[in-house]
Structure 1
Amino acid sequence: MHPGRGGEPVKRLAGKIAVVTGGGSGIGAAVARAFAREGAEVAICGRRAQALEATREAIASAGGIAVAVPADLTRREDVACLVEAIRERFGRLDVLVNNAGILGAHAPIAEYPEDAWDVVVAANLTAVFRLTKAALPLMPHGGSIINVSSSVGRIGRAGWGAYSVSKFGVEGLSQVLADELRERGIRVNTVNPGGTRTAMRAAAYPDEDSLTLPSPDDVTPIFVYLASDESLDVTGRAFDARGWTPSSVAAAAARLTSS
């Protein structure tokens, strides 16, 4: 929140409708809570109904508004049901955060199980395509799409297999969408959260001391910025959550303008 006239805080997302996938835990839950604190009404979705309900209750107990919609976004029918639930409850959508994802096997490509490959790409890339496509009719007056990426979706790393490739796909999809939707007032950006204290990170690095990492709440400021009207002119960009500040966006924009 920002200070307003008379010192009263101004909620930066007041009046906005947001959807956050993977909202039951980790970064998705933290982003949903942050959006609600800033005044957005939030729909959270994911596979685990109990975890979603815990996030919804946390938001409600803090005075926010949230609905939980259990959904497996690799299933076409679940995507359709989610979008219809948003349409019936809110009538429109202002912000879509495609956060849900899975890690998959840690193996070289030559040894990567084909079935596991299909599962990871379906969850991390195809689901983003399907939900975004289905949700676009709910954004007739513009909005913000934020796709969660990864450092291994920008620079390939041995052993990361389908996860890395799927995140490269998310980066490419986001670039295409940003170019296609610019004239409709819909901006599309990606965020690499970096190493964060989540269950997925612990699975990838079991020997790592998680207390040395930022918490999911620590990486939410960039998401709030990209969801807010402060970023109306920002699209087609790839952000790193760690070390991000509003001034860093202005500096990067100045470099792009002068180049």
Structure 2
Amino acid sequence: MTIRHRFTGRTALVTGAGSGIGRAVALAFAAEGANVVVAGRRREPLDETVDLIERAGGKALAVTADVSAAADIQAAVDAAVEHFGSLDVAVNNAGVFRGGASLTDLPEEDWHTQLDINLTGAFLALRAQVRRMRTQPSGGAIVNIASNIGVHRRAPGIAAYAATKAAVSVLTRGAALDHIADGVRINAVSPGPVDTSMSLRPGETEAGRAERMRTDAPLGRVSTVEEVAAAVLYLASDDAASTVGTDLVVDGGATA
């Protein structure tokens, strides 16, 4: 097996890195030589991610941050630069899901929570990250985590979540065009159902999800977090040097 080191000497910031896709992305960057800053609202799972990276011989730093607070995401960017000397890659993965209700039954609090974290959080993170990256001769690369549900999939009972993720995809394209001249490449990955608790519908078991996926996706299964991480690393790497403003769908063919 070929061992790749596409990110040796670079620093990557990953939000929502305490579990699921975010943790898998952080581990993948570290395995390819990056210094990794992991950010999230709860310290304990972040420390677990750091421990996994360090036990594998990598370097990592945990920063507690709420992406919906501008000061928190700026602090995470500053910590990356102060601790490792630069910010070369950022992955905006932090997100929440509040589903299972029609729009008329959705609590207003759930609407605002999803909007604040999924969309405003992506905006605040992009703003802070681009401001730093454009000062560096090497620029940088940013990958936002959107969702296939926000662009191509029917979305009964999850209209608010779908709206925020569709907005992240559009935000990605606009920001990419705004800042490619600054040397910052911005793209998105849109996963379909992934092997995490977030992909379970209300009251659904893992066995029920597996049965649903056998008919929902041509691949016949949910994607793994490692498969999503591989897509993220590709877009963040020099392999994708001419890829700008794209939204890479990883969903087993569900939206093909």
Q: Name which of 88, 91, 95 aligns with 1:97.
A: 91
Partner of 1:47: 41
Is 1:227 the counterpart of 2:221? The answer is: no
Alpha-carbon offset, residue 213 of structure 1: 2.7
- 1: distance between equivalents of 2:206 and 2:158? 17
Q: Which runs of 4+ in 1 moved over 4 A?
A: none
Query: Which residue of structure 2 lines up, in the alignment, with residue 20 of structure 1?
Result: 14
The answer as to whether partners of 2:10 and 2:86 remain within 8 angstroms in 1 is no
Residue of structure 1 equivalent to 2:144: 147
Between 74-83 and 114-123, report the one with greater CA deviation: 74-83
Shift of 1:12: 1.4
Report the RMSD for the aligned CA atoms in angstroms. 1.9
| Separation in structure 2 between the aligned mates of residue 186 and residue 171 of structure 1, nearest angstrom | 17
Identity %: 38
Contact 1:112 1:161 in 2 (8 A): no
Alignment-mate amino acid for residue 226 of structure 2: D
For the structure 1 residues 234 and 18, does the alpha-carbon distance in structure 2 shift closer, same or farther, using more than 3 Å as the test? same
Q: Which residue is equivalent to 1:184?
A: 182
Summarize the alignment of residues 61-72 of structure 1 with structure 2, pairs less than 5 Å apart: 61-72=55-66
Say if 2:192 and 2:252, in contact at 8 Å, map to a contact too: no
Q: 1:243 to 1:197 in 2, by over 3 A?
A: closer
Give the TM-score taking structure 1 as reference length: 0.86
Give the distance between the partners of 1:95 and 1:193, measured in 2 at CA: 19
The 5 Å alignment of 1:1-259 reads 2=2, 9-140=3-134, 141-155=138-152, 156-202=154-200, 204=202, 206-209=204-207, 212-242=221-251
What number of residue pairs does the alignment pair up? 238
Looking at structure 1, the residues matched to 252 and 242 of structure 2 have their Cα atoms a distance apart, in angstroms, of 21
How far does residue 242 in structure 1 lie from its aligned partner after superposition? Answer: 4.4
Say which SS state the counterpart of residue 96 (structure 2) adopts: coil
For residues 182 and 21 of structure 2, what CA distance do their matches in structure 1 show? Answer: 28
Distance 2:178 2:74 in 1: 23
Deviates more, 1:99-108 or 1:168-177: 99-108
Matching residue's letter, 1:126: T
**Any idea what SS the aligned residue of 2:204 has?**
coil
Shift of the alpha carbon at 1:203? 5.1
Question: Match of 2:200, SS?
Answer: helix
CA deviation after TM superposition for structure 1 residue 177, in Å: 0.5
The alpha-carbon distance between structure 1 residues 30 and 74, as it changes in their structure 2 partners (threshold 3 A), is: same
Q: Deviations over 1:116-175 (max 9, x none)?
A: 101110000001101110122221232111010111110351211221110011011101
Q: Note the C-alpha offset of 1:76.
A: 2.6
SS in 2 for 1:233: coil
Which SS does the other structure have where 1:195 is aligned? coil
- Conserved 8 A contact 1:106-1:161: no
Q: Which amino acid is 1:152 matched to?
A: I
Deviation at 1:47, TM superposition (A): 1.1
Q: Tell me how far 1:205 sits from its aligned partner.
A: 6.6
For residues 204 and 34 of structure 1, do their structure 2 counterparts lie closer, same or farther at Cα, with a shift above 3 Å needed? farther
Q: SS of the counterpart of 1:220?
A: helix
